[in-house]
């Protein structure tokens, strides 16, 4: 099999992964706090290719052909638009940072500040996960009118009862999505406190997804056309190989 066919196949595999990511981004254009995913494609030296260790779609190559390899995806941490909702339990983050929530798999992070109360006064976030306070504990609220301030303070009937845990990451693009708006931190990335000068909360508002619907649709069309081009090139290369084999066989 020729190096050209290997190169076309690797490009087609990368296009498939990019198509899946573009489709998922567009599907979540109306998901509050959603952060778009992006695909990183890297050209690797054939000697560096391995079958494990984090690479995406891998293609073995002969004779020095260098294919484009779908390596990994990253999270786009760009700020989404903030829209007023009028719901006192909606809180948008303006600036870098994440809310912390407790899950069966440990502490996770989200910018989807659409909170609500459980039957026992437990403050809940996306996926019905408990919203965590600055001490890392769940927040239980007594009956009364609940309000939030711009720094994360929580009050009931104007009496302070706690503070939301707000954290930031030096490389938020490395956060790993678990679902549509919840993220896990890599093992080597510890959360830090937000800078009050950079990050403020906007009560009564939500942060929209940082996905542009029109741009997302154009990207989806572009990726689909690119995939079709790879498939056409694959058929042409395959036809060339068949012709060469037939010609060689006819000379014997």
Q: Each residue of 165-189: pLDDT tens digit?
A: 999 999 999 999 998 899 999 999 9
Assign 63 a pLDDT band (cuts: 50, 70, 90): low
Higher pLDDT, 23 or 225: 23
Assign 1 a pLDDT band (cuts: 50, 70, 90): very low
What is the end-to-end Cα distance of the chain in Å, rounded? Answer: 21
Phi-psi category of residue 78: left, alpha or beta, with phi > 0 → left and psi -120 to 50 → alpha: beta
Q: At what angle do helices 3-27 and 213-250 cross, to 10 degrees?
A: 160
**Exposed, middle or buried by CB within 10 Å (0-12, 13-18, 19+), for 252?**
exposed
Residue 21 has pLDDT above 70, yes or no: yes
Q: For position 41, what pLDDT does the model report? A: 72
Residue 200 has pLDDT above 70, yes or no: yes
Q: Tokens in use for 132?
A: 């965590």
Beta bridge partners of 98: 167
Contacts of 228 (CB under 8 A, 6+ apart): none
Share of the chain above pLDDT 90, in %: 56
In the chain, domain spans = 3-77+211-250, 82-207
| Distances from the Cα of 234 to the Cα of 9, 17, 59, 243, 248, angstroms | 7, 17, 15, 14, 21
**Exposed, middle or buried by CB within 10 Å (0-12, 13-18, 19+), for 81?**
exposed
Question: Rounded CA gap, 94 and 205, in Å?
Answer: 10
CB burial string 106-126: b at 16+ within 10 A, e below? ebbbbbbbbbeeeeeeebbbb
Contacts of 175 (CB under 8 A, 6+ apart): 75, 77, 109, 169, 183, 184, 185, 186, 189
Q: For position 55, what pLDDT does the model report? A: 42
Question: Rounded CA gap, 177 and 74, in Å?
Answer: 9
Q: What is the mean pLDDT of the chain?
A: 83
Q: For position 251, what pLDDT does the model report? A: 56
Rounded mean pLDDT, 126-132: 95
Reduced to 3 states, what is the DSSP secondary structure of residue 24? helix
Residue 111 has pLDDT above 50, yes or no: yes
SS3 for 200-250 is EEEECEEECCCCCHHHHHHHHHHHHHHHHHHHHHHHHHHHHHHHHHHHHHH
Q: For position 51, what pLDDT does the model report? A: 41
């Amino acid at each position: 099999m020729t190096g050209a066919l290997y190169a076309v196949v690797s490009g087609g595999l990368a296009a498939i992964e990019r198509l899946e990511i573009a489709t998922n981004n567009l599907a979540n254009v109306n998901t509050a706090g959603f952060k778009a995913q992006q695909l990183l494609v890297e050209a690797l030296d054939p000697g560096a290719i391995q079958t494990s260790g984090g690479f995406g779609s891998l293609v073995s190559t002969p004779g020095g052909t260098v294919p484009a390899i779908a390596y990994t995806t990253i999270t786009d941490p760009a700020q989404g638009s903030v829209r007023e909702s009028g719901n006192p339990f909606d809180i948008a983050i303006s600036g870098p940072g994440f809310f912390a929530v407790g899950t069966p798999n440990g502490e996770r992070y989200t910018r989807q500040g659409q909170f609500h109360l459980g039957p026992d006064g437990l403050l809940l976030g996306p996926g019905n996960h408990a919203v965590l306070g600055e001490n890392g504990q769940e927040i239980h609220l007594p009956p009364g009118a609940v309000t939030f301030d711009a720094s994360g303070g929580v009050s009931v009937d104007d009496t302070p009862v706690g503070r939301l845990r707000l954290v930031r990451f030096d490389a938020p693009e490395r956060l790993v999505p678990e679902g549509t708006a919840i993220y896990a931190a890599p093992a080597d990335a510890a959360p830090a406190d937000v800078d009050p000068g950079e990050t403020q909360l906007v009560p009564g508002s939500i942060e929209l997804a940082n996905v542009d619907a029109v741009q997302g649709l154009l990207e989806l069309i572009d990726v689909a056309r690119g995939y079709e081009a790879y498939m056409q090139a694959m058929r042409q290369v395959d036809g060339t190989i068949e012709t060469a084999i037939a010609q060689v066989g006819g000379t014997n």
